[in-house]
Amino acid sequence: MRRRKNTTSGRRSGAALAVAGAATLALALTACGGDGAGGGGTEHGSVSDASGARHKKGGTVLDQPFDKPDLRLTDAHGEKYDLRDETKGKPTLLYFGYTHCPDICPLTMSNIAVAKARLPKDEQRKLRVVFVTTDPKRDTPKQLRTWLRSQDPSFAGLTGDFKKIQAGARSVGVSILPSRKKKNGDIVSTHGSQLLAFSPKDDKAHVVYTEGNTKPGILRRELPKIIEGGNP
């Protein structure tokens, strides 16, 4: 059985998050235990306000949009991939995670895949989904390709130098730490669980989804507005 423990990270997003002019939000970490078989534990970030209350379900609009990270990595086919060039002018969802994650990473990507499949075909063609690994030592292009195939073959998977990935994540308010091995053999990857949505109009992230707010129904309702360059 998974054990969860809530702690508060010392890191804060570089921008204030707002829902209808709401207050500043802090980054909280949730630690998830592994399966004891060397598979992988994980620690994820979620967003709550100073009182500990959760915000309404759905995307949170940023007061100060994030620029798209300057990430030049390797994709799941072993080819060079420049995030800014490849997704320029395209509505883009960006998530940092890893394929050995036992819970939130596969759930988040599956939710995106389900929501995307429910969109009209023309909206599906416009949307770009990019998964950047936080565990590049294990997540080779082949591993990413195999894992993403079970989600949606159109999703882009990126791997490469950890420090570059960490810097790119930090630029959009996502905290990432190097993977570490626990005494029981579990490998733990610590990373924020935010899903960022970039507008096709200015290539900036105006909306962020936090853990619990990426259910298919929520994304299906809000993605059409994001795809057209608006906010939910």
What local confidence, expressed as pLDDT, does residue 2 receive?
A: 41
Q: Find the range with the poorest average confidence among 26-35, 153-162, 214-223.
A: 26-35
Residue 56 has pLDDT above 90, yes or no: no
Q: How far apart are CA 134 and CA 195, in angstroms?
A: 14
Question: What's this model's pTM, rounded to 2 decimal places?
Answer: 0.79
Residue 45 has pLDDT above 50, yes or no: no
User: pLDDT by residue (tens digit) across 210-230?
Assistant: 988 999 999 999 999 999 999
User: pLDDT by residue (tens digit) across 61-116?
Assistant: 999 999 999 999 999 999 999 999 999 999 999 999 999 998 899 999 999 999 99
What local confidence, expressed as pLDDT, does residue 180 receive?
A: 85
Query: Smallest Cα–Cα separation from 133: which of 102, 105, 91?
Result: 105
Residue 158 has pLDDT above 60, yes or no: yes
Residue 157 has pLDDT above 80, yes or no: yes
Query: Smallest Cα–Cα separation from 98: which of 23, 188, 195?
Result: 188
Residue 42 has pLDDT above 80, yes or no: no
> What is the average pLDDT value for the chain, to the nearest integer?
81
What local confidence, expressed as pLDDT, does residue 26 receive?
A: 32
Share of the chain above pLDDT 70, in %: 76
Q: Where are the domains of the chain?
A: 4-227
The total number of residues shown for the chain amounts to 232
CB 134 within 8 A of CB 165: yes
Q: How far apart are CA 59 and CA 210, in angstroms?
A: 8
Give the fold, CATH level 3, of 4-227. Answer: Glutaredoxin (3.40.30)
CB 157 within 8 A of CB 131: yes
